[in-house]
């Protein structure tokens, strides 16, 4: 059980692959939660919001639960190729053991690694980012949104490097913001010209290097000066960096993952 934003009790259904397989059943899609979505308190809210939507749209899904390990993305970015391949091969073995074909994840880092780097090790799966997946649910009529709590709000969107420049996913997140009947406010540096939040390339896990300013503070200034009331992200790493940066430039500005906007718009 968990509480929604109104304080009412809300029961979420989150089946695991092992439990589903024990019944001789299989999901239509595997939800890859990721390290941030599993262990970071802020990112856990993103995970819960996405599960709400999956339940609302009656998507047959499952998670690996304790069988899910880090994709190895931070290890490879930090230069430990041996550790990356060891982690990747273990994950591929688990996924293939369950005959997984389709994966959806809320983390662009996991998305990029599973989609583009696992195939070279034999792990070939259809991998979708949660913004693309939700957008398709809307197009298929499995989910509907009528503005709701964010109707008319000015929202700016921060492009994740691993979602945007690395994989060309620019429109799905923006389509979802427009579906809220909100006003999308674009920053000068956006899409292919977007500015990194400062966490990519394993930078989130190492001491910062010498410089005149932190990247996330520069980006937070751009967000604060955009004229928007809310900043939306589609990556737990970006969420952490942007939120921390805004504490200095505009502490009253709200930041959400796009899936939270969708889930909270009509209190799904």
Domain end, chosen from 135, 165, 182, is at 135
**C-alpha closest to that of 204 among 163, 158, 235:** 235
* pLDDT, tens digit, 9 for 90 and up, residues 216-261: 999 999 999 999 999 999 999 999 999 999 999 999 999 999 999 9
Q: What is the mean pLDDT of the chain?
A: 92
**pTM score of the predicted model:** 0.92
Same domain, 6 and 130: yes
Structural domain including 75 reads: 2-135
**C-alpha closest to that of 30 among 9, 6, 54:** 54
Higher pLDDT, 211 or 166: 166
* Contact in structure between 178 and 157 (CB atoms under 8 Å): no
* Contact in structure between 246 and 253 (CB atoms under 8 Å): yes
* pLDDT, tens digit, 9 for 90 and up, residues 57-113: 999 999 999 999 999 999 999 999 999 999 999 999 999 999 999 999 999 999 999
Same domain, 51 and 93: yes
Residue 126 predicted with pLDDT over 60: yes
State how far the alpha carbon of 152 is from the alpha carbons of 39, 85, 159, 183, 264, in Å: 34, 47, 21, 6, 15
* Percent of the chain predicted with pLDDT > 90: 84
Q: Is residue 72 part of a domain?
A: yes
* Contact in structure between 231 and 223 (CB atoms under 8 Å): yes
User: In whole angstroms, what is the distance from residue 41 CA to residue 36 CA?
Assistant: 8
- CATH number for the domain harbouring residue 120: 3.40.50
Cβ of 215: how many Cβ atoms within 10 Å?
18
Residue 205 confidence (pLDDT): 72
Domain end, chosen from 135, 163, 184, is at 135
Domain end, chosen from 135, 153, 168, is at 135
Residue 7 confidence (pLDDT): 42
What average pLDDT does range 154-159 have in this prediction?
98
* Contact in structure between 197 and 220 (CB atoms under 8 Å): no
Residue 8 confidence (pLDDT): 47
Residue 147 confidence (pLDDT): 66
User: In whole angstroms, what is the distance from residue 27 CA to residue 60 CA?
Assistant: 5
Number of domains the chain is built from: 2
Same domain, 117 and 239: no
């Amino acid at each position: 059980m968990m509480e929604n934003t109104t304080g009412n009790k809300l029961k979420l259904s989150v089946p695991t692959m092992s439990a589903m397989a024990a019944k001789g059943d299989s999901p239509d899609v595997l939800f890859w939660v990721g390290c941030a979505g599993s262990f970071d308190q802020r990112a856990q809210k993103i995970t819960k919001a996405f599960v709400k939507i999956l339940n609302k749209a009656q998507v047959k899904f499952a998670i690996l639960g304790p069988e899910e390990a880090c994709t190895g993305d931070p290890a490879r970015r930090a230069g430990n190729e041996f550790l990356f391949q060891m982690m990747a091969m273990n994950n591929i073995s688990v996924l293939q053991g369950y005959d997984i074909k389709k994966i959806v994840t809320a983390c662009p880092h996991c998305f990029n690694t599973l989609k583009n780097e696992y195939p070279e090790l034999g792990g070939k799966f259809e991998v979708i980012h949660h913004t693309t997946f939700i957008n398709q649910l809307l197009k298929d009529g499995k989910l509907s949104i009528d503005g709701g709590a964010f109707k008319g709000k000015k929202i700016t969107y921060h492009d994740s490097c691993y979602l945007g420049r690395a994989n060309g996913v620019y429109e799905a997140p923006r389509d979802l913001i427009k579906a809220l009947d909100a006003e999308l406010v674009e920053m000068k540096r956006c899409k292919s010209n977007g500015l990194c939040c400062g966490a990519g390339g394993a930078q989130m896990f190492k001491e910062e290097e010498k410089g005149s300013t932190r990247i996330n503070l520069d980006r937070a200034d751009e967000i604060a000066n955009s004229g928007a009331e809310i900043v939306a992200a589609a990556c737990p790493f970006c969420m952490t960096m942007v939120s921390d940066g805004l504490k200095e430039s505009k502490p009253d500005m709200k930041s959400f993952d796009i899936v939270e906007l969708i889930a909270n718009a009509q209190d799904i």
